Amino acid sequence: MLRRLAETFARRYGGRQVAIVRMSGTIVEQSVQRPNHINLERYNVCLTSAFASNPRAVALQINSPGGSPVQSSLIVKRVRQLKEKYGKIYDREIPVVAFLEDSALSGGYYLACAADTIVCEESSLVGSIGVIVSSFGLQGLADKVGLERRVYTAGSNKNQLDPFLPEDPAQIEKVKATLNGMHEIFIDVVKKSRKDRLRAPDDELFNGDFFHGKRAQELGLADEVSSLHDYCQREYGDKVGFRFFRPRTAFPQLF
């Protein structure tokens, strides 16, 4: 009954406000729940509530240096599912607009690909469309201090990339092939999102480089340079309202 009342209220009074979901921090696995972290588990409820409110549009306020490609993908897919679901319920298109703040790099830009339109500030850092893995080689240090590494495995490749062992060329090639595969997935997501709006060759857009907001717009990685309020007032009228939807944070997680 309460759900039906909520839907009736949204149908009658919705469509007047822009629903804002702010995503700020590093994108991490779902087992990590902190105020400055992003993953689907933490944002699923507020994203659903934003679309269910029958908004004029959903604005994703993104400020992230990147992180987990899996969580980025899960959030993008969820936004698209909600857009389709509530578009059918309210019988109209619900625009999704990404507003890029200080940075939308790597996984942060991946999140922006959930949007129909990408807006950024002139000094926003945008892009870094690539994949990276880093570690340390500790064999020399172990030898110097007399540390003996003992590892027991079942499976010849189980101890790949052990930092206490010399690098294996075959293992390095395997890692590079895996990273290249993940990179191709990322590129495909960007191309399907931006389509014919991309205005530069692949080797310039997808080499891992990042750009300031104005340059990102010139390259087609963003649609325009503006602020959230200026854009929404121009697109939806001076009297457009704003409603914020925030992820819940349990009290113990604040410490």
Contacts of 18 (CB under 8 A, 6+ apart): 55, 56, 57, 58, 59, 232, 236, 240, 241, 242, 243
| pLDDT of residue 255 exceeding 70 | no
Contacts of 190 (CB under 8 A, 6+ apart): 109, 110, 113, 129, 198, 205, 206, 221
The pLDDT value given to residue 2: 45
Give residue limits of the domains in the chain. Answer: 2-128+209-254, 130-197
Q: Report residue 250's pLDDT band, with 50, 70 and 90 as the boundaries.
A: low
Query: If you average pLDDT over every residue of the chain, what do you get?
Result: 89
CA-to-CA dists, residue 43 to 37, 76, 136, angstroms? 10, 11, 33
Q: How far is CA 41 from the centre of its chain?
A: 14
Q: How does pLDDT run across 183-230, given as a tens digit for each residue? A: 999 999 999 999 999 999 999 999 999 999 999 999 999 999 999 999
Q: Which residues contact 31 (CB under 8 A, 6 or more apart)?
A: none
What pLDDT is stored for residue 231 in this prediction? Answer: 97
State the Cα–Cα distance between residues 24 and 133, nearest whole angstrom. Answer: 23
CATH 1.10.3720.10 fits 2-128+209-254, yes or no: no
> What is the average per-residue pLDDT within 150-167?
80
Residue of 44 and 167 predicted with greater confidence: 44
- Spatial distance between the Cα atoms of 139 and 121, rounded to a whole number of angstroms: 46
